[in-house]
Structure 1
């Protein structure tokens, strides 16, 4: 019985030693794994500058990569929060044949290469080589790919039509993408002088203060970087101003029974309301009066009152009035009587007696000659 107990005791000791040895070995394995060198990125390609249509190879050299996962990720420099996964391990995450992956092992170093062919301008950005060590830790290195391409003005940052009131300030702004970085130049239509002086200005913003009506018009924003053709956008600047009235003929003469036109020219923006008055009463279309208005370039409106078969009641002062939201103006014209018809008026017509105007003029001329001879 004693021998049996001894054997059982020895067996128990052996089982204990067996498990103890197994545990020690497992701890040793884990210890060895924990002491294994971590993966590192020993080198990555330097900055790359390419033209559209070129190819580029981005190389990432990793030591002690083991079974860790390596990938490429692209970030746009101007939008750091936006990124695209290019690859994860040996698998491409983009469905474009222009992208290709390769790897090559030499001693303890693995070279991971991302090749991009037929480069387009949207390929430009920061390319990050990543080693995922665990769920919260990764080793990274970055290389920037710069792509030369013509300037592109950003439409969403450019107001193509701006309206300001006279006396106000305004800033005309442009922004452009491209590599090399584009420069911005401002010009006016027909090479007109800029409100700040000179025919051109360099800078992203053109600041104009105390606007005058002469500052209105078309401005050009031109982006150029020496690659391809410059890009340009048109900005129309409107300046609201109160009416300004000019009268080509402040005093007009006409004989009775002949037609005549009274004219005033109004410059204003927005378009003005124009009305005519005589002796404090507004004149309307009808009877012997006919009013017409014609728009012209540079915010000019010509208003004409045609008087058919002038009579004695038509002589006197006429007032042309114009108004818009910025203000109002008025100008005075005088129609007076003369014996000889005003032949400078293009609307001169046949007389009411049925005789040709030519005949009437002939009689007038003969009368004047006789008076001279006598």
Structure 2
């Protein structure tokens, strides 16, 4: 039976001796066996260069299990993923297809000299990260003020690093500090608030692509809270008024308004109720009174209620005097302004009229100029007469 194993010390010594003695008739290794790193599922190929093999044979072995894999061109193991090839009896290659994590370890290329000569190489099968469904946390619902621990269990080779981030970005607030990311398999949050609510990402990476992540939605429940910016609103009858409340609650609350008479308000010809979401847990409540009536003066309530409680806010609508109507600009003033513009325009027209001379001026132009001059003369005469009359009246009054 062909001996296939040798003590590593003798193997190394034999290999070094063969390299240092080129004139020896024994086979020698052309170069050391390279270590390999491959991703799981890929093919790993060790190549052993043997110079002057002669009648000797090359065998491949798994060192840790002392298993003979191949001898010359024959595959000895029953592992169908193992194959051997050679090129000119010089380059001998061991093929391990569809590598598995269990294939990691030391492999030996051996020549059946006396004593045996061999070289070894290490195969590392790396595995991309994977996040286990258990005990990794799933979506969680908690009450505000409680303590929460999110867990992320990841496997892979090398061992993955777990990083926590908020899906929407921003910082993660812990008891006494904030950070954009937290490293570790667990994320502990004490005295949780509504600000912690939202999706978180558990990200596992180990340098082997692809990096994987899991989304965990953290929901915080709390009873409604109501904020009112203007608790006193003045109005007169017939005015359109908008009342506003801001509410925070989760689960989402049922909201409504009540009149001063404590009746619930529904949309009709005089009231319009609106609820506008502003985020994960914030809403804006609006009540539009289209035309304030006498019965509308008093206290309105905005109410928000969910399974954890009910909260309301109050806005008092009080009566104010209707502002006086603004007088439109008087027509008398406008008429006076218009008359001045027209009068100035006529004066400018007279000033700009060219002085025409010569026999070539037609009769029609002379008549038109005469008519214009006559019209201006009568107008100035009327103005002067009016001024004279006023002067006489004033003088008579003074003498009396």
The TM-score with structure 2 as length reference comes to 0.54
Is 1:293 the counterpart of 2:275 in the alignment? yes
Residue from 244, 250, 253 that aligns with 1:263: 244
Q: Answer yes or no: is 1:166 the counterpart of 2:148.
A: no
The 3 A distance-change label for structure 1 pair 289 and 365 is farther
SS at match of 2:188: strand
CA 1:92–1:325 in structure 2 vs 1: closer, same or farther (change >3 Å)? same
1:275 aligns with 2:275: no
Question: Shift in Å at residue 146 of structure 1?
Answer: 3.4
Q: Distance in 2 between matches of 1:164 and 1:285?
A: 36
Output one character per residue of 1:281-327: Cα deviation in whole Å (capped at 9) or x when no partner. 32223342221211121311111111121111101111111111122
Who is 2:96 aligned against? Answer: 116
Instruction: Give 1:92 deviation, angstroms.
Output: 4.3
Residue 148 of structure 1: CA displacement?
A: 2.9
Q: For residue 268 of structure 1, report the CA deviation from its aligned partner.
A: 0.5
CA 1:228/1:268 → structure 2, altered by over 3 Å: closer, same or farther? same
1-structure distance, mates of 2:37, 2:144? 49
Structure 2 Cα separation of the partners of residues 100 and 168 of structure 1: 60
Q: Greater strand share, 1 or 2?
A: 1
- Number of residue equivalences: 264
Q: Separation in 1 of the partners of 2:134 and 2:63?
A: 41
Q: C-alpha separation between the residues in 2 aligned to 1:364 and 1:296?
A: 43
Q: Does 1:198 align with 2:178?
A: yes
Give the structure 2 partner of residue 219 of structure 1. 200
Question: 1 CA distance for matches of 2:136 and 2:122?
Answer: 29
Equivalent position to 2:37, from 19, 34, 50: 50
Change (3 A) 1:173 1:258: same
Match of 1:125 in 2: 102
Mean Cα displacement is larger for which, 187-196 or 320-329?
Answer: 187-196
Superposition RMSD in Å: 4.3
Q: Matched residues in 2 for 1:93 and 1:194: separation?
A: 54
- Compared with structure 1, are the counterparts of its residues 56 and 169 closer, same or farther at alpha carbon in structure 2 (3 Å cutoff)? farther
Question: Contact (CA 8 Å) 2:61, 2:69: kept in 1 or not?
Answer: no
Counterpart Cα distance in 2 of 1:298 and 1:43: 69
Corresponding residue for residue 179 of structure 1: 157
Aligned mate of 1:339, from 321, 329, 332: 321
Q: Look up the SS of the partner of 1:214 in the other structure.
A: helix
CA contact (8 A) 2:201 2:216 kept: yes
Deviations 1:200-233 (A, max 9, x none): 3221011223322122123222223234464333
The range that moved more, 194-203 or 320-329, is 194-203
Over 3 Å counting, the alpha-carbon distance change for 1:272 and 1:365 in structure 2 is farther
Q: How far did residue 153 of structure 1 move?
A: 3.2
Q: 2:125 pairs with 147, 154, 157, which one?
A: 147
**Which residue pairs with 1:317 in the alignment?**
299
Gaps of 5+ in 2: 9-34, 47-59, 86-92, 106-120, 331-400
| Structure 1 stretch displaced more, 278-287 or 167-176 | 278-287
**In terms of Rg, which structure is larger?**
2
- Separation (CA, whole Å) in 1 of partners of 2:297 and 2:76: 97
TM-score by length of 1: 0.58
Conserved 8 A contact 2:142-2:219? yes
- Inter-partner Cα distance in structure 2 for 1:228 and 1:365: 79
5+ long unaligned stretches in structure 1: 1-36, 73-87, 103-112, 129-142, 342-359, 367-374
In the other structure, the counterpart of 2:217 is 236
**What secondary structure is seen at the aligned counterpart in 2 of 1:283?**
coil
